[in-house]
Amino acid sequence: MTRTQKPSILLTGFAPFGGEHINPSWQAVSQLEGEHIGGFIVHTKELPCEFGASLKELHLAIDKYAPQLVLCIGQAGGRAEISLERVAINVNDARIPDNADKQPIDTPVIAGGPAAYFTNLPIKRLLLALQQAEIPAAISNTAGTYVCNHVMYGLMHLINQHDTHVKGGFIHIPYLPLQAVNHQGSASMSLETVVSALRVIITCAIQDKQDIKVAAGTTH
């Protein structure tokens, strides 16, 4: 197992899927490769938008870099803000096939695993930090049932089973403007704003502070 000397952060994005030519998650994440933030070095990895293979690639990257923080980023077309995911559920239920033409329906991410895992990121602190930076953000209580949820659940399972010192979670981001023009009525966020948001999230997450209690729930 290769261990880097400098404390590290792993950011992942996804390959394009669902007929899109780009994925804003990888477009944003790749901008941060090699950056030094708060004494940590950022490593990045593009994951395939495929059930199973995405988790294998994530595990390999974690094994390679031994990160103290893992942030997996995904596209949520139609959402208007940075979505800090609170929970992942142990269900694969694909509305469309993945990039390997697999479409699991009502299968577990991890056989025998718990029904759900919560992120161990201080998501309320992250929310306030983003809002103070004037970046639209919200807490999300569903990461869906597609590959994004699959990866978040697999990440949190790994952390809970083996690496409890690691912080990890999932963040959904909107379309980029060049995508939104092809989806009438859809919100978008500039690449520059998304990259700035990721820097804010990283800076806040590595401070190793307990989360705070502020209202950020939903009524439906």
| Residues annotated as catalytic (active site), given as ranges | 85, 148, 172
In terms of Cβ atoms closer than 10 Å to its own Cβ (0-12, 13-18, 19+), residue 60 is exposed
Residues 72 and 61 sit within 8 Å (Cβ to Cβ): no
Residues 201 and 171 sit within 8 Å (Cβ to Cβ): yes
Tell me the H-state helices in the chain.
24-29, 53-65, 123-132, 147-161, 177-180, 191-205
CB within 8 Å of 46: residues ≥ 6 apart: 12, 13, 14, 15, 26, 29, 30
